[in-house]
Amino acid sequence: MGGPGELTELVARASHGEAAAWNAIVDRFAPLLWGVARGYRLRQEDAADVVQNTWLKLLDHLDSIKQPEALAGWLSTTAQHEALAVLRKGKREHLVRDDDLATNVPDEQALALDAALLDDERDGELWTCFGHLSEPCQVLLRALMASDRPNYKVISEALGMAVGSIGPTRMRCLDKLREIVRKSGSDLDTERGA
């Protein structure tokens, strides 16, 4: 797919109601949005809600996009906010629903619950560190996490970067993440051997 000029044109045409332009934007950035949603380990239906709500927000703001070439970052950030909203809502519902049951949990279930809470805490620390990465690193890593077998060509087109630079850029981003984790004083690097 073309560069920033083409994206500017697509956004302009989509904001004037051209369905083909809108569909081209959706085709170009859908893998990115799914990558963001899956990066938060949401259930399939929650991930679908995140993606759908992100598209709806873009539709609401399409006329006010001032830098179409930065659309990937805007979509990624919006999807992150949507995913966090789903997680916050889920935690509130989970706490209310299970609060009264906590006194009747058998020992093996309590151990599994403790392990799940520790995993959630570790994941929260990791996502906090991830949030300190530059936006381009976050967008790239989320796109790569969208699938067990990421399609570098699709990612290249969505992010406007050469296919050959994806791997080296990924390694630099992961090195930065390791450094952020190390500086945070977290136990993440010792737990997972990072």
Based on the structure, what is the number of domains in the chain?
A: 1
**Contact, 47 vs 155, CB < 8 A?**
no
Instruction: Specify the pLDDT at position 133.
Output: 93
Contacts of 56 (CB under 8 A, 6+ apart): none
Contacts of 181 (CB under 8 A, 6+ apart): 126, 129, 188, 189, 194
Domain membership of residue 13 as a residue range: 4-191
Using CA atoms, how far apart are residues 96 and 103, in angstroms rounded to an integer?
14
Structural tokens at position 98: 């299970």
Instruction: Specify the pLDDT at position 165.
Output: 94
Instruction: Specify the pLDDT at position 49.
Output: 94
Using CA atoms, how far apart are residues 41 and 174, in angstroms rounded to an integer?
19
In this model, does residue 192 exceed pLDDT 50? no
191 or 40, higher pLDDT: 40
DSSP code per residue over 25-86: HHHHHHHHHHHHHHHTT--HHHHHHHHHHHHHHHHHHGGG-S-GGGHHHHHHHHHHHHHHHH
Query: Is the pTM above the cut of 0.85?
Result: no
What mean pLDDT is predicted for residues 111-119?
A: 67
In this model, does residue 95 exceed pLDDT 70? no
Nearest Cα neighbor of 130 from 187, 181, 73 is 181
Burial 26-55 (b: 16+ CB within 10 A, else e): eebbbbbbbbbbbbbebeeebbebbbebbb
pLDDT tens digits, 96-111: 444 455 555 555 655 6
pLDDT tens digits, 42-79: 889 999 999 999 999 999 999 888 889 889 889 999 99
Instruction: Specify the pLDDT at position 127.
Output: 83
pLDDT tens digits, 144-171: 887 778 888 888 888 899 999 999 999 9
Nearest Cα neighbor of 51 from 70, 71, 21, 31 is 31
**Contact, 194 vs 181, CB < 8 A?**
yes
Structural tokens at position 17: 């109601």
Instruction: CATH number of the domain at 77, please.
Output: 1.10.1740.10
Using CA atoms, how far apart are residues 176 and 113, in angstroms rounded to an integer?
32
Instruction: Specify the pLDDT at position 164.
Output: 94
Q: Angle at Cα 78 formed by Cα 71 and Cα 174, nearest 5°?
A: 80
Instruction: Specify the pLDDT at position 111.
Output: 63
Give residue 2's pLDDT band: very low, low, confident or very high (50, 70, 90): low
| Lowest pLDDT segment from 108-117, 125-134, 163-172 | 108-117
Range among 12-26, 109-123, 149-163 with highest mean pLDDT value: 12-26
Share of the chain above pLDDT 70, in %: 78
In this model, does residue 26 exceed pLDDT 70? yes
